[in-house]
Structure 1
Amino acid sequence: MAHAAAKAAGDPAAVLTEYKRMEQCEGAGLPYPAENGPCPPADGAVPLPDCGEYPPLLHLWRHTRTTPNDPWGPWTKVADASCPQDVLPAFTAEDFRRLPLAPTTTQLHPNDPNLLTGLGIVVTATPTTQELPTTLLGFPITVRATPTEYTWDYGDGATITTAHPGEPFPTTGRVRAGTFPPGVIGHPYPRLGAYTITLTTTWSGEYLIAGTTTWRPINGTATTTTTHPPVTIHESRSHLVADTCHDDPTAPGC
């Protein structure tokens, strides 16, 4: 295409070179292009690759001449036959970031908008891989996105970045307030207030061109953001009272 554009623009060098896709014949053991139609049966043609649902690109040939008035020289082969999907450009990180990746599904433990200072909140993410269909220069491809990193922002200035999606807080055993077992991602809020928790997930990607079986890496990453409704942190205070909260639900601390 670039050569045709240069020739149409009157580039002097372009009229001295021509390119053409043709079969390759094998006459007397010497390869030559099928310039005037299919290769003769006695010679036969070099087999073309199996490109699945797409027709293969024939061998690329070139011939040249010294001046525009000279005859053309013999054809020489520039490139073997190939599949169109094998000569496509790479699917870039910019392409990856334009895809509608779904934000990561998350869970807060406890799932309560009202919490107490010091006790903390535990967060988990669901490490789900996504596959999205799209196209690359008109060829259908499938992009596979895999979560590789999670950055939690607790809204009070504290953040944590981890490759682990986290685990729910254990329901058995005694755990001291504000401490978290291995694998559990949590944060004890030290101050009263309303805070919005967000998760930024970093995704790595690879893509599969239709008709092929090899997943190709995408050189770069994409991110999504999951935002939770605000949580409000309250303070728990001890009081000496004469009755229990069952006796007087409006008593201090009830």
Structure 2
Amino acid sequence: MWAHHSGPTCLFDARPEDLLPRIAADIQREFQSLPVNAGTVVAQPSPHTLRGAETNFYAEAAEQQFDVTMFGQQVHIVATPVQYTWDYGDGTVFGPQSSMGGPLPQDRWGEKTRTSYAYGATGDFQVVLTTTFQGTYSVNAGPPLPIPGQGQFSAPPQTISVWRSLTRNYADDCNANPQGQGCPGAAR
């Protein structure tokens, strides 16, 4: 028999399900599938550099936050970059290491840095940055909890063209002999 009830109804389960273990079990998979931006590769000088000269590479990567729903619960995820691996495109890989590098003033280009690299050959190389992120998550605005493991995300490749340079010494003074070898406008 059915009875008509006009007030609010509360359903009570004597043993409610604790969703935190289920969320914790799935959070690493969810973390890996987030659209985390690995950052960008910056090279100095760019887009051309010289064979044998130090090219300063550095990453521009930042902390990112995401809000997702898992099992009907609001989950806030924070991804923080912690390590960087550089694939310089010629078979050389450097990292993982904790330094993202940084820019140099133009008058210091060519100096060795933590993340610089000197190419031994000429050509076009695809430099790829892989950034490792650690994460935390909180459920329904609760305390942040660590995400087990880490997530690795790769930035789009940056093309760097490595050229060679030739240096020659000439005895002519272009002011005294404008047609001397090596002078602008002289026959080559």
Scaled by the length of structure 1, what TM-score is found? 0.57
Match in the other structure for 1:191: 121
Match in the other structure for 1:40: none
Check whether the contact 1:196–1:227 (CA below 8 A) recurs between aligned residues.
no
Alpha carbons of 1:220 and 1:251: their partners in 2 closer, same or farther (altered >3 Å)? farther
Letter in 1 for 2:123: G
CA distance in 2, matches of 1:227, 1:251: 45
**Is the counterpart of residue 95 in structure 1 residue 30 in structure 2?**
yes
Query: Offset of 1:127 from its aligned partner?
Result: 3.9
Q: Any gaps of 5 or more consecutive residues in structure 2?
A: 1-10
Q: State, as a whole percentage, how many aligned pairs show the same letter.
A: 24
Residue from 67, 77, 85 that aligns with 1:133: 67
**Is the counterpart of residue 169 in structure 1 residue 104 in structure 2?**
yes
Check whether the contact 1:92–1:220 (CA below 8 A) recurs between aligned residues.
no
Query: Offset of 1:85 from its aligned partner?
Result: 5.7
* Partner SS for 1:92: helix
Query: Offset of 1:58 from its aligned partner?
Result: 5.5
Provide the aligned length of Structure 1 versus Structure 2: 170
- Which of structure 1's runs of 4+ aligned residues deviate more than 6 A? 249-252
**Is the counterpart of residue 233 in structure 1 residue 169 in structure 2?**
no
**Is the counterpart of residue 118 in structure 1 residue 52 in structure 2?**
yes
Match in the other structure for 2:39: 104
Check whether the contact 1:197–1:228 (CA below 8 A) recurs between aligned residues.
yes
Q: Between the two structures, name the one with larger relative contact order (CA 8 Å, sep ≥ 6).
A: 2
Query: Offset of 1:229 from its aligned partner?
Result: 3.4
Residue from 137, 145, 154 that aligns with 2:88: 154
CA distance in 1, matches of 2:39, 2:19: 32
Check whether the contact 2:41–2:128 (CA below 8 A) recurs between aligned residues.
no
Query: Offset of 1:217 from its aligned partner?
Result: 1.1
What are the Cα deviations for residues 97-132 of structure 1, in whole angstroms up to 9, with x where unaligned?
11111121332112x222111112111113411001
Alpha carbons of 1:248 and 1:223: their partners in 2 closer, same or farther (altered >3 Å)? same
The RMSD of aligned alpha carbons is 3.1
Match in the other structure for 1:41: none
Query: Offset of 1:172 from its aligned partner?
Result: 5.8
* Partner SS for 1:160: strand
Alpha carbons of 1:101 and 1:251: their partners in 2 closer, same or farther (altered >3 Å)? farther
**Is the counterpart of residue 248 in structure 1 residue 177 in structure 2?**
no
Residue from 220, 241, 248 that aligns with 2:149: 220
CA distance in 2, matches of 1:116, 1:95: 42
Letter in 2 for 1:180: K
Match in the other structure for 1:180: 112
Alpha carbons of 1:85 and 1:201: their partners in 2 closer, same or farther (altered >3 Å)? same
- The structure whose Rg is larger is 1
Alpha carbons of 1:99 and 1:250: their partners in 2 closer, same or farther (altered >3 Å)? farther
Check whether the contact 1:85–1:209 (CA below 8 A) recurs between aligned residues.
no
CA distance in 1, matches of 2:161, 2:52: 13
